[in-house]
């Protein structure tokens, strides 16, 4: 079983507020009950039945010989397969096969590469990724994409989004010579207004970035809690992971945690603050690069196990998305893997050509790669996971030549290399993302009442996590959306 994360997202302190919230909740339940009794779902026949299959999920572990019945977008029955099959709808023989919950990619950028955006939903689905979380993009570009993906007839993963990276007075991704993904949040007032505007625009969570000041960080956290928005983040450069981490729900890339694990962490923090103060003319991107260049490898070399123990203890309740396929890119660049060539043929041609060309050049001109950062990310993931820190699987697709969908399976493999079992790795791509949004009663496992997102595999993912790529069928929102030709 994976560790349970309990986060209090509400700032309600008075009894009155508590009762108001309870009444509101009762009212929504009543409304929901009325709606459910009015809809025709209970009258409709089951749409899909998967018989005699082995179920594997992070809540129940492994259950062999089960029959799962779906009606529209719900699992309506999970029972031992013995006895006559009363099921109707399309019947799929699951013997010798394995059923896992639909996978999440917990870190994607749908609008990062324009030529890829339209192709991404289908690519995700054919690799079993039935939910994605977009962790940074301008609302202007993002909202039309979200709207298309959420249209009632769309064949697309479920999608959750944050809008822009909430950065400091300087913005790392400022659109000058690189993508525009961030927005400046210069003051605590600004923080409140920005979060309120994001909530109005429908954002599902916020993402705090690296150049915010500590007071803006605090104001963003408070504003998000007031509006019940989960909080994703990088550890800001001028803060320590042990101080920032416990205030938020998630940290991406293990970013700047190594700086807190160094014996000289306090001195490094002072140095970062000095650089930020002195280098006023540097762009946000250059400032971050300068700091990283000066501090990351020395911090890793100065790793202090006793100090890191305190850091990890402080992060016990903060979901980590280590994006190992990106952090550990140098260990196995995508173009060097045997299945890259077949996967890349699925990508739209202009990108396919660019990426293939890049890969060929790299392979033709091999060079020594620095593996210290990559190895440290795997090491830290293992250490943190063993101490009960929860983990989620995200890839940063399409950054770093990440093929949508395909790259998630690499992330699962790297989580296992770091020390998770295959079942825990599957949990990181199913149950933990659902928990981040408080949706674990609806998503992340195979049980009655859960949404009908499922992946049928031809080989046992507990025997080898790489078997999550052996996909026989993908079901999204109750519909069979992918089935390779026999």
Helix 372-386, helix 284-301: angle, nearest 10: 70
Q: How far is the CB of 81 from Zn ion (least distance, A)?
A: 42
Q: Among residues 75 and 208, whose Cβ is nearest to Zn ion? A: 208
Q: 3-state SS of 141-193?
A: HHHHHHHHHHCCCCCCCEEEECCCEEECCCCCCECCCCCECEEECCCHHHHHH
Q: How far is the CB of 107 from Zn ion (least distance, A)?
A: 6
Cβ contact 55:432 at 8 Å:
no
Three-class SS state of 103? strand
Three-class SS state of 68? strand
Helix (H) or strand (E) holding 139: helix 139-150
The residue within the footprint of Zn ion, chosen from 105, 174, 258, 396 (CB under 5 A), is 396
Strand partners, 74: 71, 451
Q: Among residues 396 and 440, whose Cβ is nearest to Zn ion? A: 396
- Kindly indicate which of the ranges 13-21, 305-313, 371-379, 394-402 contains the residues binding Zn ion, using the contact rule CB under 5 A: 394-402
Q: How far is the CB of 394 from Zn ion (least distance, A)?
A: 8
Q: Among residues 232 and 258, whose Cβ is nearest to Zn ion? A: 232
Q: Among residues 206 and 268, whose Cβ is nearest to Zn ion? A: 206
Q: How far is the CB of 136 from Zn ion (least distance, A)?
A: 5
User: Residue written as tokens 């050509």?
Assistant: 353
Q: How far is the CB of 144 from Zn ion (least distance, A)?
A: 20
* Gap between the Cα atoms of 373 and 38, Å rounded: 56
Q: Among residues 74 and 292, whose Cβ is nearest to Zn ion? A: 292
Q: How far is the CB of 389 from Zn ion (least distance, A)?
A: 20
CB-closest chain residue to Zn ion:
396
Q: Which residues of 172-191 are buried (b: 16+ CB within 10 A; e: fewer)?
A: bbbeeeebbbbbbbeebebb
Three-class SS state of 379? helix
Residue 404 is encoded by which pair of tokens?
A: 């949508």
Q: Among residues 130 and 395, whose Cβ is nearest to Zn ion? A: 395
- Kindly indicate which of the ranges 3-11, 147-155, 160-168, 395-403 contains the residues binding Zn ion, using the contact rule CB under 5 A: 395-403
Radius of gyration of the chain (CA): 23
Residue 387 is encoded by which pair of tokens?
A: 């101490």
Alpha-carbon distance values, 452 to 73, 153, 282, 299, 335 (Å): 5, 16, 49, 45, 34
Q: Among residues 181 and 241, whose Cβ is nearest to Zn ion? A: 181
Q: How far is the CB of 108 from Zn ion (least distance, A)?
A: 8
Q: Among residues 94 and 164, whose Cβ is nearest to Zn ion? A: 164
Alpha-carbon distance values, 340 to 108, 233, 337 (Å): 19, 31, 6
Cβ contact 435:382 at 8 Å:
no
Cβ contact 303:374 at 8 Å:
no
Contact pattern for Zn ion over residues 353 through 392, marking x by CB under 5 A: ----------------------------------------
Identify residues 255-284 at the interface with Zn ion (CB under 5 A): none
Q: How far is the CB of 241 from Zn ion (least distance, A)?
A: 18
Cβ contact 84:43 at 8 Å:
no
Phi, psi at 90, each rounded to 5°: -75, 125
Q: Among residues 137 and 427, whose Cβ is nearest to Zn ion? A: 137
How many residues touch Zn ion under the rule CB under 5 A: the total is: 1
Q: Among residues 158 and 253, whose Cβ is nearest to Zn ion? A: 253
Q: Is the peptide bond before 445 cis (omega within 30 degrees of 0)?
A: no
Q: How far is the CB of 148 from Zn ion (least distance, A)?
A: 21
Identify residues 454-473 at the interface with Zn ion (CB under 5 A): none
Contact pattern for Zn ion over residues 48 through 87, marking x by CB under 5 A: ----------------------------------------
Q: How far is the CB of 257 from Zn ion (least distance, A)?
A: 16
* Gap between the Cα atoms of 19 and 16, Å rounded: 5
Q: Among residues 46 and 136, whose Cβ is nearest to Zn ion? A: 136
Q: Among residues 253 and 477, whose Cβ is nearest to Zn ion? A: 253
Q: How far is the CB of 429 from Zn ion (least distance, A)?
A: 17
Q: How far is the CB of 351 from Zn ion (least distance, A)?
A: 18
* Gap between the Cα atoms of 357 and 12, Å rounded: 55
Q: Among residues 258 and 396, whose Cβ is nearest to Zn ion? A: 396
* Gap between the Cα atoms of 122 and 113, Å rounded: 16
Q: How far is the CB of 375 from Zn ion (least distance, A)?
A: 22
Nearest of 128, 5, 108, 132 to residue 56 by alpha carbon: 128
Cβ contact 134:160 at 8 Å:
yes
Q: Which residues bind Zn ion (CB under 5 A)?
A: 396
């Amino acid at each position: 079983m994976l560790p349970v994360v309990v986060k209090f997202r509400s700032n309600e302190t008075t009894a009155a507020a508590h009762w108001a919230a309870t009444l509101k909740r009762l009212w929504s339940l009543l409304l929901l009950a009325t709606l459910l009794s009015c809809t025709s779902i209970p009258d409709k026949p089951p749409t899909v039945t998967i018989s005699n299959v082995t179920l594997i999920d992070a809540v129940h572990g492994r259950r062999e010989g089960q029959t799962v019945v779906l009606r529209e977008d719900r699992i309506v029955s999970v029972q031992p397969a013995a006895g006559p099959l009363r099921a109707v709808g399309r019947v799929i023989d699951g013997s010798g096969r394995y059923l896992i919950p639909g996978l999440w990619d917990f870190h994607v950028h749908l609008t990062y590469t324009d030529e890829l955006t339209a192709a991404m939903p289908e690519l995700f689905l054919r690799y079993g990724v039935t939910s994605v979380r977009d962790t940074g993009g301008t609302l202007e570009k993002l909202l039309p994409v979200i709207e298309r993906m959420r249209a009632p007839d769309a064949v697309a993963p479920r999608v959750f989004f944050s809008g822009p990276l909430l950065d400091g007075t300087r913005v790392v991704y400022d659109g000058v010579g690189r993508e525009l993904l961030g927005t400046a949040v210069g003051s605590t007032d600004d923080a409140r207004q920005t979060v309120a505007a994001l909530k109005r625009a429908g954002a599902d969570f916020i993402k705090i970035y690296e150049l915010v000041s500590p007071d803006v960080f605090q104001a963003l956290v408070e504003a998000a809690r007031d509006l019940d928005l989960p909080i994703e983040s990088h550890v800001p450069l001028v803060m320590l992971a042990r101080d920032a981490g416990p205030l938020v729900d998630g940290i991406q890339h293990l970013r700047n945690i190594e700086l807190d694990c160094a014996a000289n962490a306090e001195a490094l923090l002072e140095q970062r603050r000095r650089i930020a103060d002195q280098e006023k003319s540097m762009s946000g991107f250059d400032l971050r690069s300068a700091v990283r260049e000066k501090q990351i490898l020395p911090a890793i070399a100065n790793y202090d196990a006793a100090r890191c123990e305190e850091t990890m203890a402080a992060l016990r309740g903060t979901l980590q998305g280590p994006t190992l396929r990106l952090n550990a890119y140098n260990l196995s660049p995508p173009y060097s893997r045997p299945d890259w060539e077949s996967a890349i043929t699925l990508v739209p041609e202009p990108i396919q050509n660019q990426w293939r060309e890049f890969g060929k050049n790299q392979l033709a001109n091999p060079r020594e790669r620095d593996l210290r950062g990559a190895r440290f990310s795997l090491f830290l993931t293992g250490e943190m996971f063993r101490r009960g820190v929860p983990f989620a699987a995200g890839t940063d697709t399409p950054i770093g030549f990440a093929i949508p969908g395909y790259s998630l399976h690499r992330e699962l493999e790297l989580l296992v290399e770091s020390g998770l079992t295959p079942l825990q790795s599957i949990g990181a791509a199913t149950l933990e993302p659902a928990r981040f949004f408080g949706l674990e009663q609806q998503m992340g496992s195979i049980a009655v009442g859960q949404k009908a997102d499922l992946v049928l595999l031809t080989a046992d993912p507990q025997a080898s996590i790489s078997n999550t790529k052996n996909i026989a069928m993908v079901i999204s929102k109750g519909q069979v959306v992918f089935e390779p030709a026999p």
